[in-house]
Structure 1
Amino acid sequence: MFVVTMTQRSAEPSEQYVASFHQDLEERLGVALPGSWATDATWYRQVFSDSQHVVETALCAMRSGTWNVGIGIGKATEHDDHTVDGSGVKAADFAVSLAAKQGQLVPLRVEAAKPPRGVEQTQLGKHAQSVLQLLGHIVTRRSAAEWAVIDRLKPGIRGQQRRVAAELGMTVQAVSQAMKRSLYNTEHEVRAAVSLLLDQADAAVDIQTNSGL
Structure 2
Amino acid sequence: MLVLTIDQRHSRSSPDLVGELIDWIDGACEALRPFERTAGDEVQGVLPTAESAVQLALDIVKSGEWSVGIGVGAVEEPLPAQTRAGRGEAFERARDAVERAKTSSGRVAVTGPPLETERLEAELQMIAAVNLRRTKTSEEAGQMIRSGMTQQEVAVKLGISQQAVSSRLSSGLWYETQRLTESAIRALEELDGTPGGRQRQPAGRREANQ
TM-score range, shorter chain: 0.7 to 0.9
Is 1:44 paired with 2:43?
yes
Deviation at 1:197, TM superposition (A): 1.3
Any idea what SS the aligned residue of 1:191 has? helix
1:148 aligned onto 2:147: no
Question: Is 1:130 equivalent to 2:132 in the alignment?
Answer: no
- Measured in 2, the distance between the counterparts of 1:55 and 1:186 equals 16
Do 1:52 and 1:195's aligned partners in 2 also have CA atoms closer than 8 Å? yes
Query: How many aligned residue pairs are there?
Result: 190
Which residue type is aligned with residue 179 of structure 1? L
Q: Secondary structure at the match of 1:36?
A: strand
Q: Counterpart of 2:193 in 1: which secondary structure?
A: helix
The 2-side partners of 1:72 and 1:132 are apart by 14
Q: Write the mapping of 1:104-183 to structure 2, written as runs, cut at 5 A.
A: 105-112=105-112, 121-154=113-146, 157=148, 160-183=150-173
Q: For the residues of structure 1 that align with 2:45 and 2:69, how far apart are their CA atoms? A: 11
Q: Supply the distance in 2 between the matched residues of 1:107 and 1:22 (Cα, whole angstroms).
A: 18
Q: Please report the RMSD computed on the Cα atoms of aligned residues, expressed in angstroms.
A: 2.3
Q: Distance in 2 between matches of 1:69 and 1:200?
A: 20
1:176/1:27 Cα in 2 relative to 1: closer, same or farther (>3 Å)? farther
Cα distance in structure 1, aligned partners of 2:186 and 2:31: 24
**1:27, distance to aligned residue in structure 2 (A):** 4.5
Q: Provide the rounded CA distance (Å) in 1 between the counterparts of 2:189 and 2:36.
A: 22
Return the TM-score normalized by structure 2.
Answer: 0.80
Structure 1: where are the runs of 5+ without partners? 113-120, 205-213
Q: 1:23 to 1:170 in 2, by over 3 A?
A: farther
Q: Deviation digits for residues 47-75 of structure 1, max 9, x if unmatched?
A: 11300111111111221111111111012
* Contact kept? 1:72, 1:95, Cα under 8 Å: yes
State how 1:40-79 maps to structure 2 within 5 Å: 40=39, 42-77=41-76, 78-79=79-80
Q: What is the aligned counterpart of 2:100 among 88, 98, 101?
A: 98
**Compared with structure 1, are the counterparts of its residues 110 and 146 closer, same or farther at alpha carbon in structure 2 (3 Å cutoff)?**
same
In structure 2, the CA distance between the partners of 1:14 and 1:73, relative to structure 1 (3 Å rule), is: farther
1:184 to 174, 187, 191: 174
> How far, CA to CA, are the matches of 1:164 and 1:24 in structure 2?
25
Tell whether the 8 Å contact from 2:33 to 2:46 is kept in structure 1 after alignment.
no
CA shift, 1:14, in A, is 4.5
TM-aligned CA deviation for residue 150 of structure 1 = 1.5
Once residues 198 and 32 of structure 1 are traced to their aligned partners in structure 2, the CA distance between those partners, rounded to angstroms, is 17
Deviation at 1:23, TM superposition (A): 3.7
Say if 1:163 and 1:81 are closer, same or farther in 2 by CA, change over 3 A: closer
In structure 2, relative to structure 1, the CA distance for the partners of 1:32 and 1:85 (3 Å cut) is closer
Match of 2:199 in 1: none
Contact 1:124 1:198 in 2 (8 A): no
What CA distance in whole angstroms lies between the structure 2 residues aligned with 1:36 and 1:28? 12
Structure 2, unaligned runs of 5 or more: 195-210
What does residue 200 of structure 2 align with? none
Q: Secondary structure at the match of 1:101?
A: coil
Alignment CA distance shift 1:81-1:131 (3 Å): closer
